[in-house]
Amino acid sequence: MTFTDTADGVSTLAHELGHAYHAYVLKDQPLFYQDYPMNLAETASTFAETVLEEQRRRCAPAPLDELSILDKMLMDAVAFLMNIHARFLFENEFYTRRTHGELSRARFDELMLDAQRLAYLNALCDDGWNPEFWISKLHFYIGAIPFYNFPYTFGYLLSLGLYATGMNSGNDFAERLRDFLVETGRRQSEDAVRQTFGENLNDRSFWDRSLDIVEGRVERFLELAG
């Protein structure tokens, strides 16, 4: 990775170390158990980022520093929960309509704009929309991996949910997290989480706890911003 001696560089380093630790705990597993799906790969890396950023926020020397950290956190939330969601909606609609024939460039623009309006709840200003976003995003052109971006949102929300679980757990959380990462090579996401944390990913309350963390950051940001 390229390290630029900035806060973003440290965050990126934490992200990649999350991937590295995931691979490390699997190194002694049978070969076929060392492979894991992308959504769980992004859970490990995003969890490491979450731990770093929350610790930085708690240790912020001044309110303005904490506000800056929260700004970055909430920009990430917008990216994962709105921007990437728009990409998913666009791609899903494209595959549905493509079964009936080719689409024109104008139709691509319309689908992209509709997806953005739905994902952002029509909240952007008039010049904030980008109907040609589909042209510039390389991920849409990776034919072997449809819905490339979705695992990032899944990993983001799952990592926040596990972080929320960790805040209410005992001293064995780190070991349970390690066990979870080991299980990612041999179990489905739902089974890996249930086996190690006893959480049910089919229960909406788990995902609500993930979003509660984001909501708490929003409230703190507004408090500091006055």
Answer for the pair 43, 210: CB distance below 8 angstroms, yes or no: no
Q: pLDDT digit string (tens) for 115-144? A: 999 999 999 999 999 999 999 988 899 888
Which residue in this structure is represented by tokens 């409230």?
A: 219
Question: Which among 13, 55, 80, 62 is positioned nearest to 214, based on CA atoms?
Answer: 80
Q: What is the pLDDT of residue 8?
A: 86
Q: What is the pLDDT of residue 188?
A: 93
Q: Where are the domains of the chain?
A: 7-80+143-225
Q: pLDDT digit string (tens) for 83-109? A: 999 999 999 999 999 999 999 999 999
pLDDT band at 28 (very low <50, low <70, confident <90, very high): very high
Assess whether pLDDT exceeds 90 at residue 4. no
Assess whether pLDDT exceeds 90 at residue 170. no
Q: What is the pLDDT of residue 53?
A: 95
Distance of CA 102 to the CA centre of its chain: 32
Q: pLDDT digit string (tens) for 45-75? A: 999 999 999 999 999 999 999 999 999 999 9
Domain 7-80+143-225's class? Answer: mainly alpha
